[in-house]
Structure 1
């Protein structure tokens, strides 16, 4: 790789990488403290337009079904149609936000390297040039790095495997036998959507799901944060989000539990060419394995 020298780089006080929720929030607070876009800081985004990871949410995930979306600082998202796809609603909201605060996001820009520069600065090399910066906000998120668990026999499966990141919507599973893996909100939403179309669905998780009644209020939020903090202070990695928040027990979930769609099975032990298998010899035939296993 041919490195760019610091002398060739534009000097700024801060570089923000990513224009999703975290990146836009960071840029807002830079402006609030008196920094000017382009002169004092730049926001770089690899997407072709606003919206961050929300651009890629499946069409059937309407705004009214979103598990949670915190407003960006300085501008609430109001009067959104709950029946519209969340990808459209939130992308439009992010677009309005960028324009309202004149954040001047540069896109599409791919950041190639971040390395030590001279004088205690960082050198950020990108497809659109280089910047020398005192500080960097890494707001790249996780959407581009979906987590695919590895199981014995996975490469022998004759059907289709896909991840939530590329979930096409329920119609794509018409007449198929589908195994959904994961214990979070995405898994339950996928199952409830797919079941009316699929020939059969099976839900598997590592741990039994915990459903919670009532709203996830400030007190519940503080309790969830305390659980995460306790593990981290003990030197343990944090568990999945749903392990500390639980799954909301709404009317759709209740129906799924009652009609057997959300009949959870323990995690299988291996994947066969025709489906999945447990150590006790039980098998489930599958045409698709849908990994709703996070990022």
Structure 2
């Protein structure tokens, strides 16, 4: 392409759309590039019955609140619908099926190399590619010789195909809890954790966690001590299906893995259980490897930043990657704050 953009946003999921919202308020020439074939970002890859753990009123991008539906906690389908409507509502310039493989910096311009051979050029870039395409599975003794099925939670869709199979879910977060709730309705399921799982009180949801993150953010900016209700941001939220499973005692038994044999999981106490399927709900690394020619990228994909600005490369910002690029920035409601600040910084950078 011959065009030189003021800003190119890599990724048109929730973080890219939030950046696009604020970019449209400027006079900058910008473009969003997305690897997916359809709207909705990484949400299309989540399991069928995924529920947010915040109500619609606290799960919205800047400018337009997610429409309230019959479900207090929006479903995957409702989130995708909202994101698709959002990009149309603000007429954001998005080009899809463009997977950026590498980025170079030459003659004060970023050159973005796409999978189809095209080169895109920009004065500044925003990486908004999140984590979904970089699933993390820990190294555990014997995992390679296990003969059963193994999949990451990013590949899990629905529980029905696991009926009458012995399933092991690994992880102590919200994803693991929701998958356990579903799979336990169709077959026997076992739970493996690294640390003792913690459940939030039934009246605490994503809104409370976001409010806590916001208060912590403000206190840090003001150089003050932060006194909170001490909700652990990594604790499991009691969305309806988790609450129902909790009442069925689905979560009462858990253990820690020592290793695997060909057909069994081996527990820390030396006992073992025959397993047919392992679902790894063990989180993600950051999808940033395409920036390796510009900055140092550590093994989990993290890059040194000051706020959202890359320390090692002027003109590069990273939005929506979680705490290291802004408190609650990996959430729908939290990313707007990071996006607004980033676009203001880009305007100042280009004006200078």
Common topology (TM > 0.5): yes
1:218–1:89 distance in 2 versus 1, CA, 3 Å: closer
Provide the residue aligned with 1:117 in structure 2. 106
Provide the secondary structure at the position in 2 that maps to 1:212. Answer: coil
Contact preservation (8 Å) 1:16, 1:137: yes
Contact preservation (8 Å) 2:30, 2:93: no
Distance 1:225 1:190 in 2: 29
Report how far residue 228 of structure 1 moved. 9.6
Provide the secondary structure at the position in 2 that maps to 1:95. Answer: helix
Unaligned segments of structure 1, at least 5 residues: 1-7, 231-241
Distance 2:239 2:128 in 1: 32
Report how far residue 278 of structure 1 moved. 2.2
Q: Return the match for 1:207 from 171, 174, 195.
A: 195
Provide the residue aligned with 1:3 in structure 2. none
Report how far residue 222 of structure 1 moved. 5.0
- For 1:244-255, list aligned pairs within 5 A: 244-249=233-238, 252-255=241-244
Scaled by the length of structure 2, the TM-score of the pair is 0.69
- For 1:23-172, list aligned pairs within 5 A: 23-35=16-28, 40-61=29-50, 65-68=51-54, 70-82=59-71, 86-118=75-107, 120-126=108-114, 127=116, 129-172=118-161
Q: Return the match for 2:15 from 5, 22, 26.
A: 22
Q: Return the match for 1:288 from 265, 274, 277.
A: 277
1:11 matched to 2:4? The reply is yes
Unaligned segments of structure 2, at least 5 residues: 220-230, 285-352
Provide the residue aligned with 2:167 in structure 1. 178
Distance 2:117 2:218 in 1: 39
What is the RMSD of the two structures over their aligned residues, measured on CA atoms? 2.7
Report how far residue 94 of structure 1 moved. 1.8
User: Which contiguous aligned blocks of 4+ residues in structure 1 show a shift greater than 6 angstroms?
Assistant: 225-230
Distance 2:267 2:15 in 1: 41
Deviations 1:229-264 (A, max 9, x none): 99xxxxxxxxxxx95342124564454344331124
1:222–1:81 distance in 2 versus 1, CA, 3 Å: closer
Deviates more, 1:257-266 or 1:170-179: 257-266
Contact preservation (8 Å) 1:161, 1:288: yes
Provide the secondary structure at the position in 1 that maps to 2:71. Answer: coil
